[in-house]
Amino acid sequence: MNIPNLIPFRTKTPPTPNRTRRAVVALGGGGARGLAHLGVIEVLKQTRVQVQRYVGVSIGALIGAMCAIDDDILHVQGRVMGFLDSPGFDHHQQQLFGSANVPNETASTGIMAWYDRAKYLYSAHRRLTRAVTQQSLLHDAILTASINELIPDVEFSDLPMPLSIVTADLRSGHRVVLESGSVRRAIHASMALPGIFPPVEHNGMLLCDIGVVDSIPTAVASAYANDLTILVDIGQRNARMEKFDTAMDVMMRMQDIGEQILRREKTELADVHIRPELTGISWFDFQNPEEVMDRGRTAASEEFLRHSFFHTGSSEAAESATGDHPKPNPAIENVRFR
């Protein structure tokens, strides 16, 4: 499949020597791996390329919103680090994963070992019951509290930098791009992992995280770009698997394969593709945020060396990032702009 032939593109401005280039930045989903976005953006800010708009999915929506609100990337990084070090975040992590694993059989003996095991089984039973009787395994309070801590209560129209947040409508089956109303609510919708957090009611739609099937928003970003599209892909790399013991193993593997095939094809829409080396970093692993950000810095620096328009040096004054912003071509299939 040749995706570029399927999507009607806005004619891009032909490059001229020494002019400042402008880019729409597409930030993919991937949980804690999204901290690499902060490292990439830090390096991007040191180049001659001017960010025109952020387009984000899931954690990419959160990072994109923070950077659209605050142009000082070091300040944004500091806020994220402060949040990750806070007691509130530790509490959220314990709520999410505190009973996710079977207790270590050697951790306790006698009555305490029995108690630990019984506590785990009770928690597992409770979550299984929620899985078959409710929309999600967890309440949305954890997600809401985290977003509210990092994002002020603002509307899209208040942002100094244009922002597009991509999500999915369970009712219509369409990809939905949110660009009006509450920024917090849009991020919440884009981060509502299906089955884990409840979907979000919004203007007659039932929205959730589209990242499980379409984790890089290059189609939307490319529709806006009249110069460059920069993609930051933090998804898992494909790894060979040998054992498939259950039906769930097979279904999950096929979902992973489908998402990775789509991701490979959609990278063709980007002019610059940055993919940090994040092997060993799980989507829920926030233990070493500085290391993840540094991997983003490394990947961006290496990729930018391949393109002359990123190189620092004498140039014209930077163009305003809040000038005329082209609206996307409405003919993109199965996309609704809101």
Interatomic CA distance for residues 133 and 29, integer angstroms: 28
* Helix and strand totals (H; E) in the chain: 10, 9
DSSP state of 77: H
**Residue tagged active-site, from 140, 169, 209, 214:** 209
Closest CA to 284 of 93, 91, 89: 93
Closest CA to 57 of 239, 293, 231, 268: 231
Q: Is 333 exposed, middle or buried (0-12, 13-18, 19+ CB in 10 A)?
A: exposed
**Residue tagged active-site, from 58, 190, 215, 222:** 58
Give residue for tokens 């891009």.
Answer: 12
Residue 220: CB partners within 8 Å, gap ≥ 6? 26, 55, 164, 166, 175, 177, 328, 332, 335
SS3 (DSSP) at 280: coil
Do the beta carbons of residue 211 and residue 58 sit within 8 Å? yes
User: Does residue 58 have an active-site annotation?
Assistant: yes
User: Does residue 169 have an active-site annotation?
Assistant: no
Closest CA to 16 of 332, 316, 320: 316
Give residue for tokens 């954890």.
Answer: 142
Read off the amino acid at residue 201: E
Q: Which residues are catalytic?
A: 58, 209
